[in-house]
């Protein structure tokens, strides 16, 4: 696709009735009795699980009626067909059906009158969603279909997500699907492909040289998926065959020519057939797909009647007139693909690689604003994903441990299964393309937020209960999911507020001790900084063997240069094995008994006049003038400007200027032209305006465990952290921005990193945390067209140096100048952008963004030939895994607990860091256990020291070694959503996995 973009002029010439195309000419002689046009009209109803209404509101007011009507109207004529996509709604409806009606549904599926397409819980967004979340939502839907209908989807239907990711076909291929339909693609790309009859192609992954990953794909050619834009190139004519728009039916054609009831005298079949023929000229075969539907269509019985009856008359008139050389009929999506494959071998279609971002539906309307809209909830999505992965893994460990309590947690009545199932469904629901995108009404995003908050709390409950079981806690065998054994140090009181943290209140002589437990949800050992708030600086820290641990105590700046007298930050390096639990004990001591292992941090305050009252034990170094300064750990030296912002990074002997600053965009305000909104990014200038930053105080903490720089800027509380460990958190500089733009109007805030790296007009962004793709900045395109999604990371590089930014939440980013990366942090927009939402984005909340900035010398392993694909360095990969899957910090509730053990680990065979591991559905865990693994490129960077600290796999995975499973259990490979069980494999040995490969197993 990058090569296609290079060749496109993006001239947007008016094509006549097909505005974004051209005048299509047809000759009736192109068809004859041996070469008929085959038309499949596919009725559908697009049901958003949340957008203008919440999922519940939509269900009760519209979706329930659509499905009820389907059940009564489809059986009236066996020629009628219908497709359905969203299982979240289908499951709600199914639960209300009587047994007889459930049997009717099964008969419709067996008769091929009803097809479930994709079968996901939702039709997921493809820009912001993490690949693991996409797997969750697809698996949630596929497993529901297996349990209730014994049904496996065959074809994918994606008509509304705003741009298409290359990750989606990779996941669907591994789930056993064979065909894809996609729609929202840049109008110039559609025109280019249509000109060459390449709208159907084999979509191949960038790294695939043999075609193993190919997915056969159909791209819809026209502007919209509604009926006026699906029968052919002329929407004025197509609209006349949308019979819901008949007079007195409440919907009208904007072209002011209404439909007419089809009779023998008023058939107008040739008018419609001409559109079908013209549409066929854009494809290589005589098989034509004509979707027949729109948002929440068929919610009234009358629409079923007028659409199906009038179209059946049209089909009968067409088919009975042999001179027309056409066979038209209702069909499912898979009916169309089956007919297509009979006409032409899939191998004869062209191969296409790359993705389809950034989407534009017309003019300069690039949908790059939604990459960032509602960043508070985008961050919440990643937090929930991390909790689900942690909860699922520790839940599985607790069950397989066979420790007291293992059996009750999987009990259907009193166990934890419902909690984890509800959490997965909340995450799956938010992957909807009007959920995580931030393009829904205010009250709808509140509904999503409350569901995610409840899911986070459920995951926390699972984690702390399973921790109690694994550590042999007292009465762990007693079924009680409401008791608190541990408090997870991430307190969330509201769906729209930043989390808070517990404070460990201890002292001498009473309340001397507090135990904390750390859980590592990843499959490799971690040596990373853990922090807790404590009430006194005079403590000692011991591990579970009673050995003192080096730790750091830092003061807490409450506002400006004012420090708390009663709250301090305890920091230490936790060493936690793969999928392991380790406890530590915090003991209060007298000031004169402070051990040498506990070090009080140094405090410096720049650009501050006057005295500062410091807590006991700290003597701040105060300077009334601003100064430049540096911080360093064993890997990185970071230099800062006089206003406390990053100025340069040094690795080994190489120093690279890395200037961090913040800037703002306004929105264009031109009469009769759209302005920025939830979807669109339409800036007022071709460059952001730097924020004015003057006379700010800079607070600096230097310590043996971590060092920080804190500065309050306009709209941003900015913190830079340098960790001093041998783990993933020390590989670069961590940036924490708490952004608050609630008092602005039409304001979009960005953070920029400017370097001397000669990156030219190229940069790299990831797709769904799964792969990385090369981007190119095009001068022929407006600024907003050069913005792309950054779900987990982006980088720029030249022959000597690479700069990577790793993010903890999905956002929009670009490289608008050589050597620069720009990331959008938040958007506040007063107006609607006329794409259906009918409101601006004004419900901003203070939002915490976490980034890690990594500077690396380009080694031989990073010097790859120029390809459309990029690859993360080893450092970037582990830094991202660490950031997205933080260590879970817990405080033991009962300080007098002397029963619980100090640690738990079962892993005798760690995966390499290039593997990702998760526990998908755990239903009926006591009967079967399902796991999957994910291979990543293992040759991305072979830096000798890093490989010692973060060892890679040898291309194999040992499942029984990781989970301590019963060797007698049989292991089968399966599709990624576990719908298709495949061949048996040797579970005792090492199973091979290639880079970028996903494998699923059923035990």
Catalytic residue set: 160
Tell me which residue has tokens 């060493």: 575
Whole-angstrom CA distances from 518 to 101, 367, 400, 533, 636 are 50, 41, 20, 15, 27
Whole-angstrom CA distances from 157 to 308, 596, 730, 955, 977 are 21, 63, 43, 34, 17
Q: Can you tell me the distance from the alpha carbon of 808 to that of 379, in angstroms, rounded to the nearest whole number?
A: 7
And the tokens for 597?
């292992």
And the tokens for 756?
């001397």
Tell me which residue has tokens 């004004």: 842
Which backbone phi and psi does 62 adopt, to 5 degrees?
-135, -55
What lies within 8 Å, CB to CB, of 2 at 6+ separation is 354, 774, 776, 868
SS3 539: strand
> DSSP secondary structure string, 182-236?
E----HHHHHHHHHTT-SEEEEE-TT-SSSTT-EEEEE--SS-SSGGGTSSS-HH
Tell me which residue has tokens 């920091």: 571
HEC profile of 622-686: EECCCCCEEEECCCEEEEECCCCCEEEEEECCEEEEEEEEEEEECECCCCCCCCCCCCCCCECCC
SS3 320: helix
Q: Can you tell me the distance from the alpha carbon of 387 to that of 460, in angstroms, rounded to the nearest whole number?
A: 7
Q: Can you tell me the distance from the alpha carbon of 722 to that of 637, in angstroms, rounded to the nearest whole number?
A: 9
CB neighbourhood size of 446 (10 A) = 16
Q: Can you tell me the distance from the alpha carbon of 110 to that of 114, in angstroms, rounded to the nearest whole number?
A: 8
Whole-angstrom CA distances from 402 to 469, 548, 605, 816, 967 are 9, 32, 54, 56, 15
Buried/exposed 771-809: b ≥16 CB within 10 Å, e otherwise: bbbbbebeeebbbbbbbbbbbbbbbbbbeebbbbbbbbb
Tell me which residue has tokens 């970071």: 638
Which backbone phi and psi does 894 adopt, to 5 degrees?
-95, 105
Q: Can you tell me the distance from the alpha carbon of 548 to that of 597, in angstroms, rounded to the nearest whole number?
A: 7
User: Please, are residues 698 and 606 in contact by the beta-carbon 8 Å criterion?
Assistant: yes
Residue count (the chain): 1003
Q: In what order do the strands lie in the sheet with 801-807?
A: 621-623, 602-606, 698-702, 706-713, 716-723, 733-739, 847-857, 801-807, 793-797, 762-767, 771-776, 869-870
Tell me which residue has tokens 């996903």: 998
User: Please, are residues 342 and 40 in contact by the beta-carbon 8 Å criterion?
Assistant: no
Strands 654-665 and 581-588: unpaired
Give the DSSP H/E element, type plus range, for residue 672: none
What lies within 8 Å, CB to CB, of 697 at 6+ separation is 560, 561, 605, 606, 607, 608, 711, 712
Q: Can you tell me the distance from the alpha carbon of 251 to that of 244, in angstroms, rounded to the nearest whole number?
A: 7
Which backbone phi and psi does 315 adopt, to 5 degrees?
-60, -45
**968: exposed, middle or buried (Cβ count in 10 Å: 0-12, 13-18, 19+):** exposed
CB neighbourhood size of 111 (10 A) = 12
And the tokens for 6?
């290079």
């Amino acid at each position: 696709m990058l090569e296609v973009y290079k060749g496109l002029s993006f001239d947007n010439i008016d094509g006549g009735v097909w505005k974004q195309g051209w005048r299509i000419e047809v000759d009736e002689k192109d068809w004859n009795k041996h070469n008929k046009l085959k038309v499949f009209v596919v009725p559908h109803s697009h049901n958003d699980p949340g957008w203008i209404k919440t999922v519940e509101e939509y269900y009760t007011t519209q979706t329930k009626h659509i499905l009820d009507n389907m059940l009564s109207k489809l059986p009236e004529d066996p020629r009628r067909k219908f497709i359905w996509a969203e299982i979240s709604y289908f499951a709600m409806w199914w639960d209300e059906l009587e047994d007889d009606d459930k049997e009717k549904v099964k008969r419709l599926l067996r008769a091929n009158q009803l097809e479930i397409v994709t079968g996901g819980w939702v039709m997921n967004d493809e820009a912001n969603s993490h690949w693991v979340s996409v797997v969750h939502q697809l698996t949630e839907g596929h497993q529901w279909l297996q349990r209730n209908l014994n049904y496996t989807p065959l074809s994918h239907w994606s008509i509304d997500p705003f741009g298409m990711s290359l990750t989606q076909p990779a996941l669907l291929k591994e789930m056993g699907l064979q065909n894809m339909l996609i729609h929202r693609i840049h109008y110039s790309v559609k025109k280019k492909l249509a000109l060459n009859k390449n709208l159907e192609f084999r979509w191949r992954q960038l790294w695939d040289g043999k075609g193993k990953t190919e997915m056969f794909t159909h791209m819809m050619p026209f502007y919209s998926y509604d009926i006026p834009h699906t029968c052919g190139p002329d929407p004025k004519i197509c609209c006349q065959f949308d019979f819901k728009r008949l007079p007195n039916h409440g919907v009208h054609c904007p072209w002011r020519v209404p439909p007419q009831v089809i009779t023998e005298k008023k058939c107008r079949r040739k008018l419609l057939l001409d559109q079908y023929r013209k549409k066929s000229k854009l494809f290589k075969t005589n098989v034509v797909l004509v979707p027949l539907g729109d948002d929440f269509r068929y919610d009234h019985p009358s629409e079923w009647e007028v659409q199906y009856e009038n179209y059946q008359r049209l089909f009968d008139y067409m088919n009975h007139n042999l001179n027309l050389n056409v066979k038209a009929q209702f069909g499912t999506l898979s009916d169309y693909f089956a007919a297509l494959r009979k006409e032409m071998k899939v191998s004869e279609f062209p191969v296409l690689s790359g993705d389809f971002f950034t989407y534009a539906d017309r003019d300069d309307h690039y949908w790059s604003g939604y990459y960032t809209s509602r960043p508070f909830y985008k961050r919440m999505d990643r937090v929930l994903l991390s909790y689900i992965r942690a909860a699922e893994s520790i839940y599985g460990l607790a069950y397989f441990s066979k420790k007291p309590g293992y059996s009750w947690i999987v009990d259907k009545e009193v166990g934890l299964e419902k909690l984890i199932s509800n959490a997965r469904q909340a995450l799956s629901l938010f992957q909807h393309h009007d959920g995580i995108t931030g393009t829904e009404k205010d009250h709808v995003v509140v509904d999503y937020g409350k569901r995610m908050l409840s899911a986070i709390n459920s995951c926390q409950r699972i984690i702390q209960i399973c921790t109690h079981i694994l550590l042999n806690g007292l009465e762990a065998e007693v079924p009680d999911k409401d008791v608190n054994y541990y408090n997870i140090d991430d307190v969330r009181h509201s769906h729209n507020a930043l989390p808070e943290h517990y404070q460990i209140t201890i002292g001498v002589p009473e309340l001397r001790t507090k135990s904390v437990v750390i859980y590592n949800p990843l499959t490799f050992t971690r040596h990373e900084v853990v922090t807790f708030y404590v009430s006194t600086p005079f403590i000692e820290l011991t591990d579970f063997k009673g050995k003192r641990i080096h730790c750091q105590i830092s003061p807490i700046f409450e506002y400006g240069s004012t420090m708390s007298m009663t709250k301090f930050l305890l920091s230490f390096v936790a060493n936690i094995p793969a999928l392991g639990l380790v406890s530590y004990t915090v003991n209060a001591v007298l000031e004169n008994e402070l051990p040498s292992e506990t070090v009080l941090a140094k405090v410096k305050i720049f650009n501050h006049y006057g005295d500062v009252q410091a807590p006991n034990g700290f003597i701040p170094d105060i300077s009334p003038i601003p100064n430049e300064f540096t911080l360093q750990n064993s890997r990185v030296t970071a230099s800062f400007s006089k206003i406390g912002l990053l100025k340069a990074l040094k690795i080994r002997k190489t120093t690279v200027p890395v200037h961090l600053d913040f800037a703002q965009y306004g929105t264009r305000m031109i009469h009769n032209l759209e302005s920025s909104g939830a979807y669109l990014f339409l800036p007022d200038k071709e460059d952001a305006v730097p924020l004015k930053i003057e006379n700010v105080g800079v607070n600096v903490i230097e310590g043996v465990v971590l060092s920080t720089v804190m500065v309050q800027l306009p709209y941003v509380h900015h913190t830079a952290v340098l960790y001093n460990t041998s783990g993933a958190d020390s590989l670069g500089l961590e940036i924490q921005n708490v952004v608050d733009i609630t008092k602005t109007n039409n304001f979009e805030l960005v953070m920029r990193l400017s370097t001397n790296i000669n990156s030219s007009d190229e940069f790299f962004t990831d797709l769904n945390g799964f792969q990385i793709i090369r981007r190119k900045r095009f001068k022929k395109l407006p600024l907003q067209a050069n913005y792309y999604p950054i779900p987990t990371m982006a980088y720029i590089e030249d022959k000597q140096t690479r700069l990577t930014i790793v993010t903890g939440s999905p956002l929009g980013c670009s490289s608008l100048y050589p050597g620069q990366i720009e990331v959008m942090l938040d958007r506040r927009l007063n107006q609607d952008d006329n794409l259906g939402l009918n409101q601006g984005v004004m419900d901003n909340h203070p939002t915490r963004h976490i980034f890690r900035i990594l500077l690396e010398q380009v080694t031989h392993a990073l010097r790859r030939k120029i390809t459309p694909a990029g690859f993360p360095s080893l450092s970037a990969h582990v830094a991202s895994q660490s950031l997205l899957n933080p260590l879970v910090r817990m405080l033991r509730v009962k300080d007098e607990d002397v029963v619980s053990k100090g640690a738990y680990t079962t892993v005798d065979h760690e995966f390499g860091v290039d593997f990702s591991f998760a526990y998908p559905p755990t239903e009926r865990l006591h009967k079967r256990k399902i796991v999957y693994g994910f291979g990543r490129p293992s040759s991305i960077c072979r830096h000798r020291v890093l490989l010692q600290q973060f060892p890679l796999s040898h291309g194999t995975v040992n499942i029984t070694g990781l989970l301590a499973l019963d060797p007698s259990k049989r292991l089968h490979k399966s599709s990624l959503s576990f719908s298709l069980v495949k061949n048996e494999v040797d579970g005792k040995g090492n199973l091979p996995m290639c880079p970028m490969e996903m494998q699923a197993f059923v035990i």
